[in-house]
Structure 1
Amino acid sequence: MSTGRVVGLARSDGHRFSKQPCEALELVAGLGVAGDAHAGSTVQHLSRVRKDPNQPNLRQVHLIHAELFDELAETGFALSCGDLGENVLTRGLNLLDLPTGTLLHIGSAVIRVTGLRNPCAQIEAFRPGLLSHMVRKRSDGSLERRCGIMGIVEVEGALRVGDLIGVELPEGVRRPLEPV
């Protein structure tokens, strides 16, 4: 099991792009982050609710790696925890290379990785020019989405800044992450 660390946590009780930093989060199994507008067993993201409000919520918890923020700072984009709507800011773990179904053990909670966050136009509205750093074309023409991963809460519990993150890879065939 490899490890990373939680370096920031955030939540928002309203449907705003950015979330407010906090020292601890409570995760509720099958729902997500207690007190966060995106918690629920069915989709909570407004654009997805308009399409089909009965879809399962595969986006209960949003995680981003702090190394992305470091890279963006070098290009003039200073970002803080919660700015891109993430709940958990990590360090020392390559989130984007994890396969679908990976279990992340954080504090007393377990999050099952469901897929990639699909960067949207709200990122460009938040900071003009930022979207082009969140989605890039690979040499084969496919898109590289860099804006973190999404997951669902398998085991509820508390997360705190400084918690270690244990990674449990799925058995069998490992499927690469796709946008959810």
Structure 2
Amino acid sequence: MKRNKKDRQRLLIETIKGNPFVTDEELAEKFSVSVQTIRLDRLELSIPELRERIKNVAEKKFSDEIRALPLDEVIGEVIDINLDENAISILDITKEHVFKRNGIARGHHLFAQANSLAVAVINDELALTAKATILFTRSVKENERVVAKAKVAEIDHAHDRTIVEVSSYVDKELVFKGEFEMFRS
């Protein structure tokens, strides 16, 4: 159903407020207009693009919650966190993350995303990686989005240790898996 511009823009604002993670493509489909029309509407309404909206939501929601390191030191963008339970971050692989000759992401970026998420999920002022066991299951290429999911598997207060398992995916395919033994104060 076609709407006039004013109605569409009002509904666009409501939709993005309800789900700041909605893509321009999803909005275009919802309102039966082109992606370019959605981008022009967002520009006119001063609504930032998806990446900026995700960052803004994360900063508002998690900046007071994360204790072990500043939010801006987490590699990738934290989109959900429950301290000492679980966390999720996303990392869009760009030209700066890949080898020039083959477009494959350098492994240290995937490790850094997982490791910093393992630190961030710890509910303590101090969290350091004591040991990590990692496995890369497939290469990640430029323009792919890596979603890292951290889960606290065990908290050993007697030894000041926490085990955090992190699995990273592109779409639904596992690309990295790590178990991080974290020291906490």
Q: TM-score range by the shorter chain?
A: under 0.3
Q: TM-score, normalised by structure 2?
A: 0.23
Structure that is richer in helix per residue: 2
Question: Which structure has the greater CA radius of gyration?
Answer: 2
Q: TM-score, normalised by structure 1?
A: 0.24
